[in-house]
Amino acid sequence: MSDQADIKGGSETHSFEAEVSRLLHLMVHAVYSNKEIFLRELVSNAADACEKLRHESLTNSDLVKDDPTFQITLSADGADGTLSVLDNGIGMSKAELIENLGTIAKSGTRAFLDQLAKEEGDGSALIGQFGIGFYSAFMVADRVDVISRRAGEAEAWKWSSNGEGAYELSVASEEEALPRGTKIVMHLKDDEKTFADAVTIRRIVRDYSSHVPVPIRMLTKNEEADAIDEEKLTDGTALWTKSKSEITEEQYKEFYQYSSGQFDDPAVTIHYRAEGRTEYNVLAFIPDHKPFDLFDPSRKGRMKLYVRRVFITDDAELVPAYLRFVRGVVDSEDIPLNISREMLQDNPILTAIKKGVTNKVLSELEKLSRKDEEKFLSIWEAFGTVIKEGLYEDPERRDQLFKLVRFNTTKGENRTLAQYVEDLKENQTSIYYALGDSKDAILASPHLEGYEAREVEVLLLADAVDAFWVQTALGFDGKSFKSISQGGADLDAIEKVAQDVDDKSDEEKAKDKTSVADLVSFVKETLIDDVSEVRISSRLATSPVCIVAPEYGPDRQMEKLMRGQQGAQAGLKPVLEINPDHALILALASQLSSAADKAEVTDGARLLLDQALILDGEQPANPAEFAARLSKVMMSAMG
């Protein structure tokens, strides 16, 4: 909380928290290219206050019995240089004024400042995204007064500040306070008096707030007639209740930006009415760019639930977590208005709505992928990682999601599973994939060599979620998913594109085969405590060895993720695979068959394992022993 510095004459002076002071300094002294967004933010806050009271009045009708019609009023006085924003919404108590306007407890101030530090140029587009819109008033005003009376309370309070580090709190007089709600009076700076002009106000409301679900009126002083002129700027009609034919693309865009706090254009607009056993209206948008909170740990959706045009909550989980980037509203005709948060969690109507909205969003994405591949790919680039979470979390819709997902593969980018299956090699029965920390790391893996030699396409899976969904997915189009770093490679049935020329005699080949078999047995015995098996590899082409996971158990990448969790135990012992045609392996096999002292071959076996671990992106089990063996072998070679 802020520190109280002075109390006198019924007025209290408080200091802003440090973060708020820093923010206000930016607002006052930074040059923003679009200062008029302050009015949009104050109107949005006023609308939220009305919606909160509308909701609260469902269980306490006395709060609105004297004034049941909600509205927002903009009052401009060019002579005095003031602009006021009034609403008859929920209002604020003294404690709420301190909490909401004097501290960062209810705002995103710190997050805003952190993000602003990363932005170049105009930062005004960030204001609406972080819940600190009120402070934008100081861009145009050298003093701001907030007079507020919470609905149902007798006392009204006045908050006042010039934005220079402190604010005053005092009891408001009955003359300046509203019967309920909040009045914000901005004393405009000398060079910002245009914001008290009716033409300017009318244009800003039209551009930014024309679809706020609360009527907006404007009061201006008519000097000639010595009267107050009143003009209705918006009717507060819910946009989602209108027919699509009545709404322009610009109006959709305005509503999207207002309701979501985003500043891009919506990539996809989904507007429909569901009828039948459950009736509801949906107006949803898929953004063109990633929202700032896309990877928030809470993974909450941002769809708002209305019941017969009364705002209920934005915490109703109207779409699954993997569609949390979707913004918009759902307005139900069937859910009771007085539903509680607990009842929402298990409400069958809400379950039906979630199912319907989810299916609609996915079907619209699938339709877009067929009609406008370029636009779909821009959405996939922004949200593909999140959508893939559904492959793990939503098995019921996995087949639907498989039509959407795009993969980088050894054959190209943004490949579909249907394209992969269409290009299967003769005798290929699986969809092969490789997991790794990045595409480049996967492409450097020796596990790919045998597949590349046969031009078998491999999915390159570099997102963390990939390690999870491939473990549970049964397959696609009758083809199972198979890791290239787990179990047997089953590549022998697929012919290599170009066969290696081998001019050795049959006798020499037989001898090599026998000596390599002996080496495999020796290496297995030497590494018995470190590996579960040593075997000849069909997946290697140019590397001498690689390490793979056993047939059963986690994939190598999955095991790494599990080991990264605190307290996770080591998994099954890995399998060491040996390339029987590699010169190093043949040399070791020859040395094993001829040398009396097997010490050097033992060192070689352990170096093979360490090499395989390094190729797999890991460290040798004992780096010091690895270095010592390597030095010993190098010295022997140079001697």
**Would you list which residues are annotated within the binding site for ATP?**
41, 45, 87, 92, 100, 106-108, 129-134, 182, 341
Give me the residue label for tokens 């082409």.
541
Range 447-486 burial, b when 16+ CB lie within 10 A, else e: bbbbbbbbebbbbbbbeebbbbbbeebeebeebebbbbbb
How far apart, in whole angstroms, are the C-alpha atoms of residue 541 and residue 442? 16
How far apart, in whole angstroms, are the C-alpha atoms of residue 57 and residue 152? 11
How far apart, in whole angstroms, are the C-alpha atoms of residue 20 and residue 142? 16
Which segments are annotated as binding site?
A: 41, 45, 87, 92, 100, 106-108, 129-134, 182, 341
Q: Sheet holding 458-461: strands in order across? A: 412-415, 407-409, 458-461, 430-435, 480-483
How far apart, in whole angstroms, are the C-alpha atoms of residue 240 and residue 328? 10
Is-contact 361 394, C-beta < 8 A? Answer: no
Among residues 59, 62, 83, 58, the alpha carbon closest in space to that of 73 is found at 83
Q: Sheet holding 280-287: strands in order across? A: 266-274, 280-287, 327-332, 302-307, 310-313
Strand ranges for 248-383 from DSSP E: 266-274, 280-287, 302-307, 310-313, 327-332
How far apart, in whole angstroms, are the C-alpha atoms of residue 52 and residue 311? 8
How far apart, in whole angstroms, are the C-alpha atoms of residue 343 and residue 356? 20
Residues of the chain by 3-state class (helix, strand, coil), percent to 5: 40, 20, 40
Tokens coding 536: 């000849």
